[in-house]
């Protein structure tokens, strides 16, 4: 049967001192979901920094997150195995881009089945890719959208076919996204005056967070100084994965 592999794992923290260290602990609980690469992005309200590498979390961060990662109050992280693309460093997440509307970091779990067609269309319009990951396609779609970032995210998600969940970090906000089928898991928890999101609830026990609810299929959940804001980017059509369940 070959080597057994799980799905990728994503984790995010909003509104906590040394958020990257909390993300690091959360990712330890999700290490079984991917052993090929790991990364953490952190935001301090003014900028985003990202560190990542190939291998286990303990190999990429042998001494835990160090400065400037540890300065941020918001963070996302990812443990990876290759559902799409190779195991090159360019495909390790989170992926960080700096655009006119600000910096954005994305970490995603799942597979976009129409990715080849989307990539072909984007390249025909002048886009240049640095990786073979679906996450980079998502970033290009966001950038080409119109309106607020929330509207750009909704427009990008509508173009993705397949099973995915994602966490998106800006300098001041955290977004959690789940596909219309809810195939890939994602939930939100309370942590002090802030919040966490995770692929699996076992990670909340490691950081002392209190589970609140699942991110609903077809939902974009924005976490900011205003609290939790929710929109549905499509009509949900729930179809849970038996293995994930």
Sign of the four-CA dihedral 19, 21, 26, 32: positive
Collapsed DSSP state (helix, strand, coil) of residue 217: coil
- Edge to edge, the sheet with strand 174-178 lists 95-99, 102-112, 162-169, 174-178, 219-224, 227-232
| 180 pLDDT above the threshold of 50 | yes
| 226 pLDDT above the threshold of 90 | yes
**% pLDDT > 70, the chain:** 95
Predicted pLDDT of residue 85: 52
| 1 pLDDT above the threshold of 50 | no
- Arithmetic mean of pLDDT, 116-135: 90
- Arithmetic mean of pLDDT, 16-41: 96
First CA to last CA distance, the chain? 22
For the stretch 58-86, pLDDT in tens is 999 999 999 999 999 999 999 998 655 55
Q: How far apart are CA 82 and CA 86, in angstroms?
A: 6
**Is the CB of residue 218 less than 8 Å from the CB of residue 233?**
yes
Predicted pLDDT of residue 5: 45
Q: How far apart are CA 214 and CA 42, in angstroms?
A: 23
Q: How far apart are CA 45 and CA 172, in angstroms?
A: 5
- Per DSSP, which regions of 62-173 are E strands? 74-80, 95-99, 102-112, 162-169
Collapsed DSSP state (helix, strand, coil) of residue 176: strand
Predicted pLDDT of residue 86: 57
- Arithmetic mean of pLDDT, 177-204: 96
DSSP-derived pairing of the beta strands 227-232 and 194-198: unpaired
| 210 pLDDT above the threshold of 60 | yes
Residues facing residue 108 across a β-bridge = 166
Q: How far apart are CA 245 and CA 227, in angstroms?
A: 29
Collapsed DSSP state (helix, strand, coil) of residue 82: coil
**Is the CB of residue 199 less than 8 Å from the CB of residue 33?**
yes
Q: Is 8 a catalytic residue?
A: yes
Predicted pLDDT of residue 83: 54
Length reported for the chain: 245
- Lowest mean pLDDT of 57-61, 77-81, 100-104, 157-161, name the range: 100-104
| 228 pLDDT above the threshold of 60 | yes
Predicted pLDDT of residue 4: 40
Choosing from 8, 50, 157, 196, the catalytic residue is 8
Query: How many Cα atoms are found within 13 Å in the side-chain-facing hemisphere of 31?
Result: 11
| 156 pLDDT above the threshold of 70 | yes
Binned at pLDDT 50, 70 and 90, residue 168 comes out as: very high
Binned at pLDDT 50, 70 and 90, residue 3 comes out as: very low
Closest CA to 3 of 34, 46, 49, 40: 34
**Is the CB of residue 177 less than 8 Å from the CB of residue 6?**
no
- Arithmetic mean of pLDDT, 135-144: 92
Binned at pLDDT 50, 70 and 90, residue 128 comes out as: confident
**% pLDDT > 90, the chain:** 78
| 50 pLDDT above the threshold of 80 | yes
């Amino acid at each position: 049967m070959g080597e057994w592999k799980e799905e990728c794992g994503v984790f995010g923290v909003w509104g906590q001192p040394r958020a990257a260290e909390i993300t690091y602990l959360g990712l330890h609980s999700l290490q079984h979901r991917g052993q090929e690469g790991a990364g953490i992005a952190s935001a301090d309200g003014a900028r985003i920094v990202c560190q990542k590498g190939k291998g286990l979390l303990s190999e990429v961060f042998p001494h835990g997150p160090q400065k400037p990662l540890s300065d941020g109050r918001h963070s996302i992280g990812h443990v990876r195995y290759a559902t799409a693309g190779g195991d090159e460093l360019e495909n390790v997440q989170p992926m960080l881009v700096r655009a006119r509307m600000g910096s954005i970091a994305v970490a995603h779990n799942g597979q976009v089945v129409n990715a080849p067609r989307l990539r072909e269309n984007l390249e025909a319009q002048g886009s240049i890719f640095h990786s073979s990951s679906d996450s980079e396609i998502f970033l290009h779609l966001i950038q080409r959208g119109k309106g607020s970032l929330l509207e750009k995210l909704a427009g990008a998600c509508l173009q993705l076919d397949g099973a995915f969940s994602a966490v998106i970090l800006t300098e001041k906000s955290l977004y959690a996204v789940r596909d219309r089928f809810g195939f890939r898991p994602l939930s939100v928890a309370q942590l002090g005056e802030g919040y966490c999101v995770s692929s699996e609830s076992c990670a909340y026990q490691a950081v002392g967070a209190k589970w609140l609810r699942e991110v609903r299929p077809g939902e974009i959940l924005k976490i900011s100084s205003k609290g939790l804001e929710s929109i549905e980017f499509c009509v949900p059509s729930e179809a849970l994965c038996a293995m994930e369940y």
